Chain A
Amino acid sequence: MSVTASHRARGGAARAEPKGLTELYERNAPAAVRLAFLITSDRELAQDIAQEAFVRVAGRFHHLRMPEALDVYLRRTVVNLCNSHFRHQRVVRAAVEREASLASPVVDEPDLGLRDQLRAALRRLPARQRTAIVLHYYEDLSEEQLADAMRRSVSAARSLVSRGMETLRNVIGSEER
């Protein structure tokens, strides 16, 4: 709990700097950046995705009709943009791998602590499974909300989480052994 001193201001209604869209941005962008960062693990990309998502959602006037729904639309758009990024990345990676003829040397993974192992395993998960896990375990979305955010059926969303968790459990299990 924090206590802030207040200053008694001038009488009459205030007239401050213009704020409409800025208020919306400041209210919703932090959560969008956090979500994009957790899904992509890329700081600059997360900033770009959050900003692009805001422009797309606010630019469609959705916030004028239903301001309370803006965060839901924003979350969906962040997920979509992350998916688009991963799709693009897959194409690029495939091209690079073809050129390199899979000649990269095998590198022993350093001995990491449990949390680092888990983090590494999470990043190695297929993008959709990682997105589903972040939405479920960080955003605390229910299965229905998860399905809504990922535009999938409830059973498909549930399956993404459970398959991702199974992989992570195997990683942790092998670490424990």
Chain B
Amino acid sequence: MIDLDRELRALLEEDARHAPPVPEARSAIRRTRRRQLVVVAVALVSAVVLVAGAVTGVGALIRSSERRVPANPSETPTPSPTTPAPAVVSGSGLDGYAATTFPAVGSLRNVAVAPDGMIWAASGESVARFDGKTWTTYTTEDGLPRGPVYAVEVAPDGTVWAGTQRGLARLDGKTWTIVSPSVEVREVVFAPDGSVVAGFYRPPGNPSWGGVARFEGETWNTLGDVDTMPEDFLTFLAVSPVDGAVWITAGGSGFIPIGTVSRFDGKEWTAWLVNELPGHEGLPGLIPQALTVGPDGSVWVLTHKGDWTDRGTLARFDGGSWTVFSAPAGAAVDAWGAMALGPDGTVWLAGNERPAVAEYEGLLFSFDGIAWTRDRLGNEVSALEVAPDGTLWVGVDGSLVRFTPPAE
């Protein structure tokens, strides 16, 4: 009896190995830029048309209100929300730091520091380990599922976990074991009780399994009712070391994307639309760009409007209320980097600025609660992690850069 499923998989794997090489990037990049220019031009023309339409519309409304008595005077529009004033950037956050650049095995998606000091990173379709001198890469030959690796994290007990396009994998010795259903895992974190919590892809409109689930040794248990999860791409996941609450952000899609920030307190989810947070009220198009939880349980969220006019907004939740800080000038464009907290409470943010359709410029910001600093790093910052001793590890331009803090 022939196992058709197995035969078919083997056949497709074999045929995929004979796939043609990837065409040279240059032509695709040139065409993409041209298309982006067209998109920008169309957007500008649309904006002009919309503004003209709005002005005309307002005029018409004013004229019509002259003939009409408002049904309820309290229905008058509320004033526009006040956003925090642009923050001032003062100097470099890396003054006194010693920088060392190590060529990496490719662009690094995320970086994690293990308790034994090893650096682990997600890169393309592989996981890489750096011992300070050499890189060791793990691929499908070592048991990793095929496809992109989105996240690599190291548990406090030293176990290494990888979120991939086809599930969560755990490194057992020298090989990887897949421990979840074959669903994309975007993020993996560790709860104070030692359990593993992973964020799974949940296709919009087709929710049956996915969202956030806890690994109980053998089985996965979704946190709360899966139907109460946002029907969108889960972008970031974090867990509070204080009360074990699980925090997620979801992307926000559509023409005007409004992201969400949600907390699971062990019983149920509480969700905030980002444009309902103080300082964000009523703002269109807000996308969570980074999320992290500090050792004191404070939650930090960076949001961005997704266009080049926005500088981004940083918000902190202290358990009772949100405090909003404006991100500094220059943090604006396309900041899709990472956020990490230093041992002294400093917030480090890696982002990418892109003037018009030129190339990325990598930026590193720090915020101590009062003042911002800014450093230019290279063409594209892709990953950031802060070790417990305050050393910064940054993935930039296909390299790994170590910034060692000055001795006290």
Interface residues of A (CB under 8 A from B): 1-23, 25-27, 29-31, 33-34, 37-38, 41, 43-44, 46-48, 50-51, 54-56, 58-61, 64-69, 71-72, 114-115, 118-119, 122, 133-134, 137-140, 142-145, 147-148, 154, 165, 168-169, 172, 176
The digit string for B295-310, where 1 denotes a CB below 8 A from any CB of A, is 0000000000010000
B130 within 8 A of A: yes
Q: Could you say which residues of chain A place their CB within 8 Å of the CB of B354?
A: 20, 64
Asked if residues A119 and B306 are in contact (CB atoms below 8 Å), the reply is: no
Q: Could you say which residues of chain A place their CB within 8 Å of the CB of B124?
A: 27
Asked if residues A14 and B397 are in contact (CB atoms below 8 Å), the reply is: yes
Asked if residues A16 and B398 are in contact (CB atoms below 8 Å), the reply is: yes
Instruction: Give the interface segment out of B59-67, B142-150, B190-198, B213-221.
Output: B142-150
What 3 A-B pairs have minimum CB-CB distances, sorted nearest first? A59-B35, A18-B359, A144-B206
> How far apart are the CA atoms of A71 and B103 in the complex, in Å?
26
Asked if residues B22 and A50 are in contact (CB atoms below 8 Å), the reply is: yes
Q: Which of B373-390 contact A (CB under 8 A)?
A: 375-380, 382
Asked if residues B28 and A148 are in contact (CB atoms below 8 Å), the reply is: no
27 A-B contacts (beta carbon < 8 Å): A2-B136, A2-B139, A3-B136, A6-B135, A9-B102, A9-B103, A13-B376, A18-B360, A21-B32, A21-B359, A22-B25, A26-B107, A30-B22, A33-B19, A38-B16, A59-B38, A64-B334, A64-B354, A66-B233, A66-B287, A69-B251, A118-B11, A137-B12, A138-B16, A140-B182, A144-B209, A168-B4
**Given that A5-B134, A9-B102, A20-B379 are contacting pairs, would A14 and B11 also be in contact in the complex, using a CB cutoff of 8 Å?**
no
Cross-interface CB contact of B7 among A25, A55, A58, A114, cutoff 8 Å: A114
Asked if residues B15 and A38 are in contact (CB atoms below 8 Å), the reply is: yes
Cross-interface CB contact of B100 among A5, A8, A67, cutoff 8 Å: A8
> How far apart are the CA atoms of A2 and B19 in the complex, in Å?
23
B253 within 8 A of A: yes
Q: Give B154 Cβ to nearest chain A Cβ, in Å.
A: 17
B157 within 8 A of A: no
Q: Could you say which residues of chain A place their CB within 8 Å of the CB of B98?
A: 11
B141 within 8 A of A: yes
Cross-interface CB contact of A54 among B32, B203, B287, B398, cutoff 8 Å: B32
**Given that A2-B136, A138-B12 are contacting pairs, would A20 and B101 also be in contact in the complex, using a CB cutoff of 8 Å?**
no
Q: Closest A residue to B94 by CB, please name it.
A: A13
Cross-interface CB contact of A1 among B36, B174, B209, cutoff 8 Å: B174
Asked if residues A4 and B253 are in contact (CB atoms below 8 Å), the reply is: no
5 additional contacts (CB under 8 A) given A6-B135, A66-B235, A69-B233: A7-B102, A9-B101, A11-B99, A21-B25, A154-B208
Q: Give B216 Cβ to nearest chain A Cβ, in Å.
A: 21
Q: Closest B residue to A175 by CB, please name it.
A: B2
Q: Closest A residue to B381 by CB, please name it.
A: A13
Asked if residues A38 and B12 are in contact (CB atoms below 8 Å), the reply is: yes
B267 within 8 A of A: no
Asked if residues A68 and B186 are in contact (CB atoms below 8 Å), the reply is: yes
**Given that A6-B134, A59-B39 are contacting pairs, would A16 and B33 also be in contact in the complex, using a CB cutoff of 8 Å?**
no
Query: What is the size category of the interface that chain B forms with chain A?
Result: 35 or more
> How far apart are the CA atoms of A1 and B127 in the complex, in Å?
10
> How far apart are the CA atoms of A139 and B182 in the complex, in Å?
10
Asked if residues B378 and A16 are in contact (CB atoms below 8 Å), the reply is: yes
Asked if residues B16 and A14 are in contact (CB atoms below 8 Å), the reply is: no
Q: Could you say which residues of chain A place their CB within 8 Å of the CB of B137?
A: 1-4
> How far apart are the CA atoms of A68 and B8 in the complex, in Å?
29
Asked if residues A61 and B378 are in contact (CB atoms below 8 Å), the reply is: no
> How far apart are the CA atoms of A60 and B205 in the complex, in Å?
22
Q: Closest B residue to A115 by CB, please name it.
A: B11
**Given that A16-B378, A138-B16, A168-B4 are contacting pairs, would A21 and B100 also be in contact in the complex, using a CB cutoff of 8 Å?**
no
Q: Could you say which residues of chain B place their CB within 8 Å of the CB of A169?
A: 4
B246 within 8 A of A: no
Asked if residues B401 and A14 are in contact (CB atoms below 8 Å), the reply is: yes
Q: Give B268 Cβ to nearest chain A Cβ, in Å.
A: 24
Q: Could you say which residues of chain A place their CB within 8 Å of the CB of B14?
A: 115
> How far apart are the CA atoms of A69 and B18 in the complex, in Å?
27
Q: Closest B residue to A71 by CB, please name it.
A: B148
Q: Closest B residue to A154 by CB, please name it.
A: B206
**Given that A20-B359, A168-B4 are contacting pairs, would A148 and B29 also be in contact in the complex, using a CB cutoff of 8 Å?**
no
Asked if residues A19 and B134 are in contact (CB atoms below 8 Å), the reply is: no
Q: Could you say which residues of chain B place their CB within 8 Å of the CB of A2?
A: 136-137, 139
B82 within 8 A of A: no
Q: Could you say which residues of chain B place their CB within 8 Å of the CB of A56?
A: 35
Asked if residues B396 and A114 are in contact (CB atoms below 8 Å), the reply is: no
Q: Could you say which residues of chain B place their CB within 8 Å of the CB of A168?
A: 4, 8
Q: Could you say which residues of chain B place their CB within 8 Å of the CB of A58?
A: 32, 35-36
Q: Give B222 Cβ to nearest chain A Cβ, in Å.
A: 14
Q: Give B345 Cβ to nearest chain A Cβ, in Å.
A: 24
B138 within 8 A of A: yes
The digit string for B347-382, where 1 denotes a CB below 8 A from any CB of A, is 000001010000110000000000000011111101
Q: Could you say which residues of chain A place their CB within 8 Å of the CB of B12?
A: 38, 134, 137-138
B27 within 8 A of A: yes
Cross-interface CB contact of B101 among A11, A19, A147, cutoff 8 Å: A11
